[in-house]
Every structure is written in structure tokens, then in C-alpha cells.
Amino acid sequence: MAFQFNFEVGDRRDWEEEEERGTDEAAGSSGRLRRPAQGYGRPLPEEEVLLTGHKGEGNPNGAEVGAVSGPATEEPGKAEEKPAAAEEHRVTGDLRRALENRVVERLWGKALPPLKHVNQAVVERSICAGAEGSRLVSAAVAARCDLLSGAYEGGLKIWECTFDLLTYLQAAGVELAEKRVLDLGCGAGLLGILALKKNAKVVHFQDYNRTVIEAITIPNVLINCEEEEDEENEDCIEPCHKKRKESEVKEQCLQHRCRFFSGEWSNFLQLLLNGDDPPKYDIILTSETIYNTVYYSSLHDVLCNLLDEKGRVYLASKIHYFGVGGGVQLFETFVDQRNVFSTKTAKVTDQGLKRFIIEMTFKNE
């Protein structure tokens, strides 16, 4: 088992994969999404969950928990995709397994919180080599696609607006302590991890792809829980055998404060609403999730049904996403037409393509 820590000092806004892949344009800074290679319209069946988890029918390792049926194989080249199944992921057993062969780095930047994350390029190499992940995601990574509609929605990459929202939450002093938080479209999970660091009561993470949850999100939460344990034990003078075991902090964090979900938003919503105690969130954090107008209705439904009546949504986005068509103005128009939420611009960044932090509340709040 290789467990390598590789802390670099540098600006993480210049993505490692751009150097790895030799691309001539950083998609994160331009709002431009690379399109899939021809022939990648056909959905392929997802592989089994890598960590012990909740799965629907056909899971040999766990009981059925009401997950919506998964994507079906369709005719080659067909553009329409069936929504990804929704499922909850449980992390049990040896937690260090989720950190195998991971290279860990720190965020760098004066305004950014001191969080750690696994190196995306290393994870992508592992996925391409077939060591983990689904064939759907492997195909997208191999084709160097930032997204593959209905199959992979870009969760392996840390997008630029995530840094904007992390910075805003820090600078604006948004109250996260004792809050119920959802990191929607979480990808690396950095927004939710910040909420954990700020003593949120519970944090739930959701991403379209189970591979993203297993290969990126869960390892990142574990790494930052480990750092929390190190901080608590920093001044401890007790012998090592009297200190809490490494796994205790992680297990407590994962079992009592965190839940992990994958799947398309409509299916994710139904999975929660069909549960014994559907959650309501005080704060929903989401970044770079309004790039495609096709998803606006399901996103709006999630916000309507899961946000507490006095809750707030913090959404980070570029003004427009070239090649896909979504963006801030179209989303705000959509929200205005639904007449459920009020929106206001909390922050604008003019460097490069204009970027926004939008705050949303119910109109009766």
C-alpha cells in the first residue's frame, strides 16, 4: 500500500491535469467545456461500488435500500441518457483502504482555508488503468472530456468557482457551526469539508458519479478528519498508546456527521424523500452546477424540497458556459419564473470570465 503525502507550495488554480494532458487551454478559467469524442453517447453499466456501500438490487455485499434503477444500455450513438441511479455510500471496515495510492496536497492561497485534497491526476491514471471506478468515467477520462452528458459530470476536477465560494465563505464569515449542510454536486467535497471544519452539525455530500464519491470525496473527507485529529493531539504529552486511535476520529466523523450520495438529482431527491427521516438543510452549497439548462428543473426541485424554510443556498458560477449554454443570467431567469426563491448577488469576480456568488432564499423568508 502506497500512501504518499506530497505537499506542494504553488497556486492550485493552475490545474495539474493541464500540464499532464498538454492542453492549450485551462477549461476551468475559460468556462469552456471540452466535448466528448464522437461515439461516446452510449451509456455503459457502472461497476460495483469499491467501498462497502448501500446498493440496490443485485448488490452482493449489502442490502437493498431503495436505490432507483441504474442507467440502461441504449443504442450506440444515442444522445438521450437515462438518469443515474441514486444510492447512499457507507464507509466501513479499514478506512485506510480509501487512501491507498493517493498523493495528498494542500490548497494554497492567502484567502483559502487550509484544506487537503487528493491529487486528481493520480486518481485519473488509476481510473484509466482500470484499478478503480466505472467504465463510464474511465471512458470520459481517457477521452479527456470535462463532462460526458448522462455519464460523467466533471466531478473529478476542482473547478475554479469552488475556490471563489471557499474564499467567500471564509471572508464573509458565513455561519456554518451547528448547521445542517448539503454539498450539492460536491466533486472533491471541499465546500462540505470546510463546513465540517467550521463545526457544522451534519454535512451530506452528493455527486452524479459514484466513482467521484469513492475515489475523490470520501478520501478527501478522511484526510481532513485525520488533520483534525492531529491538531487535537498536537499538545498532548500522553504516551502514544493512550491517544485515541487514528480511526476513531474518522469513524465518528463519518458515522455521525457525514453521509455520501451519488446519482442524478431527481433520483437523489426521491431517495431522500422516501427515507424514514427526510433531511432539511440550513445551508446548501453548490459550485459550477448550472452550466446546462437541461438540469435546471431537477436542481430547482432539490432546492425547494430539501432547503429549510429559513435556509440559504450559496451558488457559485461563471456568467456563461460556452458550448453548453447555461450560466447565471439564464438560471436567475428560470428561478424568477418559478417564483419560489429570491436571488441576490453576493460577490462578483471580474478576473477573466466574470464569476458570481449567488445567495438564494425562499421568498417568504
Domain at 89, CATH number: 3.40.50.150
Residue 186 confidence class, pLDDT cut points 50, 70, 90: very high
Q: Report the domain count for the chain.
A: 1
For range 223-228, the mean pLDDT = 75
Q: Which domain holds residue 303?
A: 3-233+240-362
pLDDT surpassing 80 at residue 53: no
- Residue 191 is predicted with a pLDDT of 98
Inform me whether the pLDDT recorded for 31 exceeds 60: no
Please tell me the predicted confidence (pLDDT) of residue 178.
97
C-alpha 225/C-alpha 249 separation (Å) is 7
Per the prediction, the chain carries an average pLDDT of 76
pLDDT digits (tens, 9 = 90+) for 250-299: 666 777 899 999 999 999 999 999 988 999 999 999 999 999 999 999 99
- Per-residue confidence (pLDDT) for residue 293, from 0 to 100: 94
Q: Which of 80-84, 104-108, 253-257, 259-263 has the highest mean pLDDT?
A: 259-263
Local structure of 151: helix, strand or coil: coil
What's the pLDDT score for residue 288? 96
Contact between 180 and 124 under an 8 Å Cβ cutoff? The reply is no
In angstroms, the Cα distances linking 43 to 40, 86, 89, 136 are: 8, 16, 22, 7
Return the pLDDT at 99: 83
Predicted pLDDT at 356? 98
The pTM (predicted TM-score) of the whole model is 0.76
Ranges assigned E (strand) in the chain: 3-5, 87-89, 102-106, 116-118, 180-184, 202-207, 258-262, 281-287, 307-318, 341-349, 355-362
- Distances from the Cα of 285 to the Cαs of 53, 119, 121, 195, 316, in angstroms? 24, 22, 25, 10, 8
What is the rounded average pLDDT of the residues 191-207?
97
CB 22 within 8 A of CB 15: no
Q: Which residue has the higher pLDDT, 198 or 35?
A: 198
The DSSP 8-state label assigned to residue 213 in this structure reads: I
- Residue-level pLDDT at 83: 66
Work out the pLDDT band at 247, boundaries 50, 70, 90: low
- Which of 328, 294, 290 lies closest to 150 in space, CA to CA? 294
pLDDT at 8 over 80: no
Mean pLDDT of the region 71-83: 37
Q: Nearest CA to 28 among 323, 325, 338, 321?
A: 321
Provide the H-helix boundaries in 26-144.
Answer: 27-30, 120-128, 135-142
Report whether 40 contacts 139 (CB < 8 A).
yes
How many percent of the chain have pLDDT more than 90? Answer: 50
So what's the pLDDT on residue 82?
58
**pLDDT at residue 62 greater than cutoff 50:** no
Q: Does the structure show a pLDDT above 70 at 7?
A: no
Short-list 325, 364, 357, CA closest to 149: 325
